[in-house]
A and B are shown apart, each in its own frame.
Chain A
């Protein structure tokens, strides 16, 4: 079935440019994420994969495929800023896992794009819950330079990965400290030495293949990040670590920094806002799970927004390879604990797109944006709401997954069939 869908979709893609396909989503509450705000009873017109018009009372082009939102909500597709979709299928089975490599000679050179499985089943599950774009993170392996992340869409098709080597992940939390020798000071020492190596690449490596800590390949991979051409996502929770990173940024002003984890970021909110450093944050994390997260709190997201920090939400509370689709629930929790709806929704759509340099392409409904459009049967931040339609670049997506097929196989156990399916 999946192969068939894939084949059909591939055919559609091949045919699309010739056909000048127009899809119209209409009769819904349109959340634009732009100055146009929310448009009641609005329409979104997508032509050849791009949005060409958004508004109320738009004329529907002749011959367009029309999707009636039935009074539901029409929003941009969700953009998940931190997943491992396509890198893991079954967590406990190493044969299905390509997240980290303790025994590799490489660190920064590792690129998750090289292991991304575009038709992993969890991608389908994320898609039918409205996630159309996502970032893919490496886990920390050999040392705190975890490697480089990528961006993909959730079509489940070859070619869905649209940006490889888009950001570098450096783990400065306890886990990164552990693999960098055993302490946070060791992790910082390693980071500074690695920075030094990357900065002096390739000169240093002309006479020898080795830097202070990085081999030639890792130094080459790290170079763009050191020059500020590639954002670095620093994983950390503790407010003391975040303050150290702020000082580090002052010493290294060229760096483009994003903080992920950030359980205590609200303690440093003013400083983060002043330094224009965004955070990727899970509003569900409120327990002192470690001594680095003692001040985590349910209203931390609201505090970050109040201070003017740019915030994208993630779903660390669940497995980020299996349940990234819980993003809307996590945003809803932020809303329940003091965040504005608009901020919470932006944190799962436009803000993550901006973090990775795609704020003019994904995360909003406006002409020029990709036709990533989701129709919901209610407020998307409500746990009982779900998408009825998902479009990615104007293509209407299948709402079937391995899970829905299992569900349908077993929906009815009948006496005449010990199994609810036929052989």
Chain B
């Protein structure tokens, strides 16, 4: 993991935001200004790019003090803690340990015989951009009109009333990352969401989470544009398309840097013309925007890693990565993670070499692996997906603990999204995103009994008072069903 902890990604994002708005409001500037002018040391007004014009307005649901007692706790970073208590206060994890004292007024959850993990995190979801029902009017996930659409942002397509969010919550999902589809070389920006009901997407946005960029390699862009008789129609066309854009983005970045240097030195300087597409690509080159890249084949991933070297950026995570098991060494050398399925494949040639031990083989061979869903059904049981992969890995002789495998649906995706300092593990000080499972999370029969987001109980199995119901489902047959 080179550059995609919260430390690197978020810190630099914050730095840029601070630079952007001068007075450093959390999450960037408050207004809708695209570029703002501030006064530097001299008289020159320096134009900055507003990196966060649609800031998060998320506020956690009210939570009291909660003590979860006596559970087997998987902390998400490799620890299995027997008969352990977790104290939640002010939405954060206050204490973790055996036999904790219950503060006055605390709600006490008897979790004896049950299991606790961090909230499930899905790094690859299209909830909201391809919502239920799959009406034509809702198909908002792919701006498949140009191979390069780095200028579009998934958050501008998310329909917050997608009932799929509620079903995912019942599956323990507390944080999810919504991506544009894979028709394009550069599909646009992804957005990381808290899985809470909200009227607006801004109300779901994970505060200060780094922006991401969806890229796609292989058959999808080549097919979409090849069928229209235009480039890219091949893998080589894909690569040429990315490289042309990176050259453009490098020039754009250089011209801004040149401008800022001159302006800061008090020289007369004209700012470059701002360009939405290139803003995003520049964000990647600056290390502030994390690349989430759809790729299947080992050889394609190797090409992309070379390209990242060529232009000096980092691929944070390869998604789908069906052949990642063939190149764990290349991935770990590059510090790039792979987000994979347990057992999907076959649907196109580049998915034909899917094997069920992909994730455990990655892990055992020293690469950073994690699970992802890319599915409104799969997201509801990422614990099962991990269990299947783990069992298949063990059957071939790989020794991986349950606790390590829990990281595949918790801390690993959190790191891949640059939000690990905030969530993804059960550690003091972190957001209290917690699932209490009815049994072992790797059992077919276990369900999420309680799901906490920022310490607030957002879902409880069998409790109609604690079922989120999106507007769409009101008055419909099936209202309140998961």
B-binding residues in A (CB < 8 A):
89-93, 122, 239, 264, 267, 284-291, 293-299, 317-319, 321-323, 326, 328-329, 332-333, 335-337, 381-386, 403-404, 406-408, 410-413
Residues of B within 8 A of A336 (CB): 444-447
A-binding residues in B (CB < 8 A):
132-134, 163-164, 167, 170, 219, 223, 325-329, 343-349, 352-357, 361, 365, 376-377, 380-381, 384, 387-388, 390-392, 395-396, 442-447, 472-473, 476-478, 481-482
Nearest chain A residue, comparing its CB with the CB of B470: A288
Q: A336-B447, A413-B329 are in contact. List 16 more A-B contacts (CB 8 A).
A: A92-B223, A287-B164, A294-B473, A295-B477, A322-B344, A322-B346, A323-B343, A323-B346, A381-B445, A382-B443, A382-B444, A386-B392, A386-B395, A406-B355, A407-B325, A410-B326
The docked-state distance in angstroms from the alpha carbon of A412 to that of B473 is 50
The docked-state distance in angstroms from the alpha carbon of A287 to that of B365 is 37
Whether A92 lies near B348 (C-beta < 8 A) is: yes
A-B contact count (CB 8 A): 142
Residues of A within 8 A of B443 (CB): 382-384
A335: contacting residue among B329, B353, B445, CB under 8 A: B445
A319: contacting residue among B167, B347, B365, CB under 8 A: B347
The docked-state distance in angstroms from the alpha carbon of A288 to that of B325 is 35
The docked-state distance in angstroms from the alpha carbon of A381 to that of B444 is 7
Residues of A within 8 A of B164 (CB): 287
Residues of A within 8 A of B472 (CB): 288
Nearest chain A residue, comparing its CB with the CB of B476: A294
The docked-state distance in angstroms from the alpha carbon of A92 to that of B219 is 10
Residues of A within 8 A of B326 (CB): 410, 413
The docked-state distance in angstroms from the alpha carbon of A289 to that of B343 is 23
Whether A294 lies near B478 (C-beta < 8 A) is: yes
Given contacts A333-B444, A384-B391, A386-B391, contact A92 B349 (CB under 8 A): yes
The docked-state distance in angstroms from the alpha carbon of A122 to that of B473 is 38
* Shortest CB distance A335–B (Å): 6
Whether B377 lies near A296 (C-beta < 8 A) is: no
Residues of B within 8 A of A319 (CB): 344, 346-347
Residues of A within 8 A of B388 (CB): 329, 383-384
> Which of A290, A291, A326, A382 gathers most chain B CB within 10 Å?
A382
Whether B473 lies near A288 (C-beta < 8 A) is: yes
B163: contacting residue among A288, A384, A403, A411, CB under 8 A: A288
Residues of A within 8 A of B361 (CB): 407, 410-411
The docked-state distance in angstroms from the alpha carbon of A92 to that of B226 is 15
Whether A329 lies near B444 (C-beta < 8 A) is: yes
The docked-state distance in angstroms from the alpha carbon of A332 to that of B391 is 16
Whether A298 lies near B481 (C-beta < 8 A) is: yes
The docked-state distance in angstroms from the alpha carbon of A326 to that of B390 is 15
Nearest chain B residue, comparing its CB with the CB of A318: B344
Whether B377 lies near A285 (C-beta < 8 A) is: yes
